[in-house]
Chains A and B, each alone.
Chain A
Amino acid sequence: EPEVTQTPSHQVTQMGQEVILRCVPISNHLYFYWYRQILGQKVEFLVSFYNNEISEKSEIFDDQFSVERPDGSNFTLKIRSTKLEDSAMYFCASSADRGSEKLFFGSGTQLSVL
């Protein structure tokens, strides 16, 4: 079964550093998403991306965050200057069609900001 792949599985960084989280969505999917889960809290929607532009973003997704599809396979989330509160599990998801009922999630990247 096709799957969404995220790398790395764990990332440790120093506060203020830039970090890029990588995702390879399922190959024929067109819609891409990032979610995050701070330890002990709910999984939260960050951003959706389609046709090389952001479709929707949450209030969490401020100017420190950006997303990009640099080539035909990768989908990245960049945090420009990490803060301690950015420590979380970040999940990438993709879908073939517009619709939450068809999301496939990756296994996540655990980001630790020290």
Chain B
Amino acid sequence: AQSVTQLDSQVPVFEEAPVELRCNYSSSVSVYLFWYVQYPNQGLQLLLKYLSGSTLVKGINGFEAEFNKSQTSFHLRKPSVHISDTAEYFCAVSPKIYNQGGKLIFGQGTELSVKP
């Protein structure tokens, strides 16, 4: 079984400041890792994903995340946030098992609030 823990439910930050949203996971099998973003009144949008290869992955809107296998973490970072980054961010994993394609296990979400 898999589980995902997002360590911060809310992260307030000032505009142009750096931000890190933390995500840890546990799994008995290898997993793919994802970050999704949900803007108000919108659906879940894929921000970035780690499938294999380089542990530093870059996504849309200037976000990046680093996969750390030893610490089972996949923290999301942005060096300078904008007001428009205000949203809920979800970390998710999916087992690398063919017959479980499409099954994502989500964390509880982190609400990023960017203030002017």
Which residues of A does B touch, CB under 8 Å?
4, 6, 31, 33, 35, 41-45, 48, 55-56, 91, 93, 95, 97-101, 103, 105-108
Contact = CB atoms under 8 A, between A and B. Distances in A.
A107 B44 CA distance: 7
Interface residues of B, number: 27
Contact of A105 (B32, B44, B94, B103): B44
A68 to B, nearest CB: 18
A100 B109 contact: no
Interface stretch (B21-29, B45-53, B76-84): B45-53
Contacts of A99: 101-102
Contacts, number: 67
Interface of B: 4, 32, 34, 36, 41-46, 49, 51, 90, 92, 94, 98-109
Contact of B103 (A56, A91, A107): A56
Contacts of A6: 43
B93 to A, nearest CB: 9
Nearest to B31: A100
A93 B41 contact: no
24 contacts: A6-B43, A31-B101, A35-B104, A42-B4, A43-B90, A43-B92, A43-B106, A43-B109, A44-B106, A45-B103, A56-B99, A91-B43, A93-B102, A95-B101, A97-B101, A98-B98, A98-B101, A100-B32, A100-B34, A100-B101, A100-B102, A101-B51, A105-B43, A105-B44
